[in-house]
């Protein structure tokens, strides 16, 4: 059963990486420029004062400081530290290191500064907010479903976290700091990293459990 599960993990990672590579090639060759422009200018045409307030609020829920603050809280609360805090921080740090490396490799400029509604620096592809939030909030949802005894609450929180991840990605296009393909690239690579983290944590927990049984 476990081997089948890990094979599924491997398949998901493989597909996600393939999607990322496809998007990256399309970005580098300019093949997806038409798609980017069609989507983002359509989104820009929908801007309004109320929508801008909403999407700015959403995009800041994916800021690095927000993720760091959540990690600190999970580490400080003793009852949450082992099952949630440590794993959340490991996943978030791994994701950050990977997307920063990818940004340095591709060095894609961000959309025109005149179109941006917030200040943002650095390269554009892949979207760090989209990727890091998918990995960080995704691993938190996974841990809730795995460890939280209140199943109804765990499912509710997981759905909420998933919705936030989607909204954060969309917000990055609305506020003008990313192209749509940046977000798609961030999501696809994020899925690969998230599933890899799930695999690593399950393997680690399994070995710890076996060691405890042997010592017992």
Which CATH number does the domain housing residue 140 bear?
1.20.144
Kindly indicate the confidence band of residue 7, based on its pLDDT and cuts at 50, 70 and 90: confident
Q: Assess contact for 158 and 144: CB atoms under 8 A.
A: yes
Percentage of residues in the chain with pLDDT exceeding 90? Answer: 84
- For 148-202, what is each residue's pLDDT tens digit? 889 999 999 999 999 999 999 999 999 999 999 999 999 999 999 999 999 999 8
Across 79-93, 167-181, 200-214, least confident range:
200-214
Complete DSSP assignment for 99-153:
HHHHHHHH-PPPSPGGG-SS---S--SS-HHHHHHHHHHHHHHHHHHHH-S-HHH
Number of domains in the chain: 1
Average pLDDT over residues 9-30: 96
Helices (DSSP H) in the chain: which residue ranges? Answer: 2-29, 33-44, 49-60, 64-76, 78-80, 86-106, 128-147, 151-174, 180-215
Range of the domain at 184: 2-215
User: Residue 4's pLDDT is what?
Assistant: 81
pLDDT confidence of residue 203: 83
Q: What percent of the chain has pLDDT over 70?
A: 94
Q: CA triplet 199, 205, 211: central angle to 5 degrees?
A: 135
Q: How confident is the model at residue 5 (pLDDT cuts 50, 70, 90)?
A: confident
Are the C-beta atoms of 113 and 179 separated by less than 8 Å? Answer: no
Q: How confident is the model at residue 86 (pLDDT cuts 50, 70, 90)?
A: very high
Q: Does residue 207 carry a pLDDT above 80?
A: no
Task: Specify the pTM.
Answer: 0.90
* Residue 41 to residue 173: CA distance in whole angstroms: 10
pLDDT of residue 118 exceeding 70, the answer is yes
């Amino acid at each position: 059963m476990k081997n089948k599960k890990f094979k599924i993990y491997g398949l998901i990672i493989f597909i996600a990486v393939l999607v990322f590579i496809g998007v990256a090639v399309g970005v580098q060759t300019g093949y997806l420029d038409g798609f980017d422009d069609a989507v983002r200018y359509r989104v820009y045409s929908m801007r309004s004062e109320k929508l801008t307030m909403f999407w700015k609020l959403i995009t800041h829920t994916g800021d690095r400081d927000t993720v760091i603050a959540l990690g600190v809280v999970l580490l400080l609360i003793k009852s949450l530290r082992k099952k949630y805090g440590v794993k959340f921080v490991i996943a978030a740090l791994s994701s950050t290191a990977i997307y920063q490396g990818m940004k340095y490799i591709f060095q894609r400029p961000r959309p025109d500064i005149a179109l941006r509604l917030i200040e943002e620096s650095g390269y554009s592809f892949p979207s760090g907010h989209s990727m890091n939030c998918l990995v960080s909030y995704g691993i938190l949802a996974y841990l809730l479903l795995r460890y939280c005894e209140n199943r109804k609450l765990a499912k509710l929180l997981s759905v909420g976290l998933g919705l936030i991840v989607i909204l954060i990605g969309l917000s990055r296009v609305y506020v003008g700091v990313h192209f749509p393909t940046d977000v798609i690239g961030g999501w696809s690579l994020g899925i690969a990293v998230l599933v890899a983290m799930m695999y690593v944590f399950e393997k680690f927990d399994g070995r710890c459990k076996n060691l405890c049984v042997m010592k017992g």
